[in-house]
């Protein structure tokens, strides 16, 4: 009789515990579903070939998602081939979704000046790729054309003020005038799928090995010095 009573008590206790556990799990699930997602912001910048800038900013702490694409031109839904012709007016850019509680928009822009040379459009005339390049032609390294111009496309007046103030401050460190375009973002067009996360997907590609990886490694050291490198970044 006592054994039966003990088993009855154990079963009752187990049922009660299970009921409470299920109720607790349901409450946690509901709270998680109702909790607002972490607030993110968007920054759109261009500093030469988007393969380089994408690889660099993927290392930045607080950066969630990067999409390579085109902005600043007149052609709707441009293709990579059209942009490379230099007639669309678009620049190769990256759209950065980031957590401002970790890295602010100001920090995103301040790092921008370390990611590339923002004065290159002001350099003297020179011959490249077997043809004459007029003075004032935008370029980064061996990449020539307006599609490689230095640019910041802002999405609000606050972003505009931050970008302009950052540009004015960093100009003190450069001998040549900074030529970075600061303009409102009218439309961002994502690039073709094969351009996304290009360095990671094509580590042995010639341009990646010769240009993207060295620039990214240099930028990595900058991030380490400033304490803005993403944990676990390689």
Residues 176, 119 contacting (CB under 8 angstroms)? yes
Identify the active-site residue in 43, 44, 49, 53. Answer: 49
The burial class, CB within 10 Å (0-12 / 13-18 / 19+), for 65 is: exposed
Strand 41-47, strand 91-98: pairing: antiparallel
List Cα–Cα distances, 52 to 27, 73, 105, 212, in angstroms: 45, 21, 20, 5
Cα 101 from chain centre: 16
84 is catalytic: no
List Cα–Cα distances, 36 to 63, 66, 193, 230, in angstroms: 19, 22, 30, 24
The burial class, CB within 10 Å (0-12 / 13-18 / 19+), for 9 is: exposed
174 CB-side CA count, 13 A: 20
Question: Cα torsion for 213, 219, 224, 226, to the nearest 10°?
Answer: -170
Active-site positions read: 49
């Amino acid at each position: 009789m006592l054994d039966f009573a003990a088993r009855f008590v154990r079963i009752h206790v187990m049922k009660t515990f299970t009921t409470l556990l299920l109720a607790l799990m349901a409450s946690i699930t509901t709270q998680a579903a109702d909790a607002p997602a972490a607030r993110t912001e968007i920054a759109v910048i261009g500093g030469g070939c988007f393969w380089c800038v994408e690889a660099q900013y993927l290392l930045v702490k607080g950066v969630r998602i990067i999409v390579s694409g085109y902005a600043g031109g007149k052609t709707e839904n441009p293709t990579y081939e059209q942009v490379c012709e230099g007639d669309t007016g678009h620049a190769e850019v990256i759209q950065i979704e980031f957590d401002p509680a970790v890295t602010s928009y100001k920090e995103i822009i301040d790092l921008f000046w370390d990611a590339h040379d923002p004065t290159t459009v002001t350099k003297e005339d020179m011959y490249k790729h077997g043809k004459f390049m007029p003075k004032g032609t935008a370029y980064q390294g061996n990449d020539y054309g307006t599609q490689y111009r230095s640019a910041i496309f802002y999405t609000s007046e606050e972003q505009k003020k931050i970008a302009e103030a950052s540009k004015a401050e960093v100009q003190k460190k450069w001998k040549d005038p900074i030529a970075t375009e600061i303009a409102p973002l009218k439309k961002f067009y994502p690039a073709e799928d094969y351009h996304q996360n290009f360095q990671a997907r094509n580590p042995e590609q010639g341009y990646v090995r010769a240009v993207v990886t060295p620039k990214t490694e240099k930028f990595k050291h900058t991030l380490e010095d400033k304490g803005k490198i993403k944990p676990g970044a390689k």
